[in-house]
Structure 1
């Protein structure tokens, strides 16, 4: 090969390598992607997730199919995700309390180091709710009523159940726990007055504007900007709160270029009007964008703080 021919061939090879570099990342995904929701259809996570899937499809250029895997406050979905192939084709959209709290009090088959936390897209709005037809509205009124009458409570997660059981014990309430698979299962129980009050991770946003459902208190550390008159449980004298994010989570070991694509799609969604309107306008969750570094820190910080509280 002459020097000139060698230089031409080498230049062509170098150019093909440069071009091929980003194309490898851009080619992912080459087939449909699965988004797992750890709750039954109809709840706030499911509502947000389905819109998020549609927006991510536009960015990724492949269908994003939503699969519901309810059970044990999303612990079933996290267990399945921990055992999934780490190729990015299966990821979870959901709350972080199944990682920061559930493994502390429940025997689960996963740990926080089994996952990577790519992005948070919304701040959790955890609340205690009741029907507008009940003889009580505020949390103080619920406690007062419960001191004289047996009560029922619809739970969704191990964390909300643990908090309410501690409150009930402190207040001397006779409280029966009714498990549900998510907000879609909780709402008819509350509206039909089959339970006295319940935990809501955001489903209440569908029923408070109509006056059918009342928020008695928030379990978050601060009041909701959408319900500024409703106090937090901490304001009412109970030292409990839930710090929670709706996040995109993958099993440990997903390739960096694939994680980058998912994070780019998540950031794209956080600025999309469809996702913002559904998340803030319909489910009343503040939209945010926290990247992987922030979320890795957040999950471990809250987990450590929760372990300290539960040890007391």
Structure 2
């Protein structure tokens, strides 16, 4: 009886050891054993998020030695793609997501089944401040010109926006504080809101600097930027708070920026720490590669790498800011 009992224990330990060895072996052979990896982009093809993701996957393939494909899962201002990834994709490292701020945080305010802590954040690749823009041919040469016209014509001026994004909420924050009325006109993506302004369908828009310079070029005129400091790549754009101060308003708005980052489900890191580290190292190398950075510069998008800890801090800080205006993200 004594020998039988310990024989059972011995066999159990062998099984556990074998399982651990098999898992370790699987991790050692990753990602070579994968036919391909998938980067989920929760936005349409052709937009800035899609172009950035495809440029990054090209370099990531070189680092990992396997194909990395982009899977566009558009809809719901990022909610469709993020939800499908969280609920349906495996947590083995074969799928990860090229995420966008504030769209990700906004889905949480709209009762998503996930929260910030359900993901890990490998790193941030791009950040671009939100700016108020007018058509170059319009009568609005300055931020004050636009705001004065809005004040004198309540509800008559319109702006193009994407629901639950900074393109909408930054304008609402501004006009709510100033007790002014404007009309929002919703579109599906960044290219669409800029096209609407270029085509004269709306009077102004709020969009990030890099994406707008890439998509609108010299045909759009920047009026003011939600930032505390001038933007390195467009230093002449006025700052919102300084413009308001010159107009006699005693108020201050926070810095507001779009950001893009690589995100994985937290179970991936918990269950496959070696794979996570390999993917994280590869992403960092790809994001800092000359080819990726040059591709961005060619499109007036200036990439900058931030670490996992820095990225999580930015995601949480933006979430806290958005919490003050959560009614705008519903």
Give the TM-score range, shorter chain.
0.7 to 0.9
Give the Cα separation in 2 of the matches to 1:270 and 1:152: 38
Give the Cα separation in 2 of the matches to 1:157 and 1:233: 22
Shift of 1:130: 2.4
Aligned ranges for residues 22-171 of structure 1 at < 5 Å?
24=28, 26-28=30-32, 30-83=34-87, 84-104=89-109, 106-149=110-153, 150-160=156-166, 161-171=168-178
Evaluate the alpha carbon distance shift between residue 74 and residue 175 of structure 1 in structure 2; reply closer, same or farther with a 3 A threshold.
same
Give the Cα separation in 1 of the matches to 2:179 and 2:324: 25
Aligned ranges for residues 185-224 of structure 1 at < 5 Å?
185-201=192-208, 202-207=210-215, 209=217, 211-224=218-231
The question of whether the paired residues in 2 share the 8 Å contact of 1:70 and 1:182 is answered with no
Partner of 2:294: 277
Shift of 1:227: 0.9
Give the Cα separation in 1 of the matches to 2:72 and 2:141: 32
Shift of 1:80: 1.9
Choose from 253, 263, 268 the match for 1:239. Answer: 253
Evaluate the alpha carbon distance shift between residue 223 and residue 41 of structure 1 in structure 2; reply closer, same or farther with a 3 A threshold.
farther
Evaluate the alpha carbon distance shift between residue 119 and residue 137 of structure 1 in structure 2; reply closer, same or farther with a 3 A threshold.
same
For normalisation by structure 1, the TM-score amounts to: 0.81
- For the residue of structure 2 that corresponds to 1:143, the secondary structure is helix
2:294 aligned with 1:289 = no
In structure 2, runs of 5+ residues without a counterpart are 1-20, 245-251
The question of whether the paired residues in 2 share the 8 Å contact of 1:35 and 1:67 is answered with yes
Tell me whether 276-285 or 266-275 shows the greater mean CA deviation: 276-285
2:189 aligned with 1:182 = yes
2:263 aligned with 1:249 = yes
Give the Cα separation in 2 of the matches to 1:284 and 1:50: 14
Partner of 1:263: 280
The question of whether the paired residues in 2 share the 8 Å contact of 1:34 and 1:65 is answered with yes
Number of equivalences? 290
Shift of 1:213: 1.4
2:317 aligned with 1:304 = no
Give the Cα separation in 1 of the matches to 2:206 and 2:321: 22
Give the Cα separation in 2 of the matches to 1:64 and 1:72: 25
More helix per residue? 2
Q: Deviations over 1:169-216 (max 9, x none)?
A: 33343322122222122222111011111232332122454x111222
Partner of 2:180: 173
RMSD: 2.7
Shift of 1:117: 0.6
The question of whether the paired residues in 1 share the 8 Å contact of 2:128 and 2:259 is answered with yes
Partner of 1:12: none
Give the Cα separation in 1 of the matches to 2:65 and 2:82: 26
Tell me whether 302-311 or 125-134 shows the greater mean CA deviation: 302-311
Partner of 1:3: none
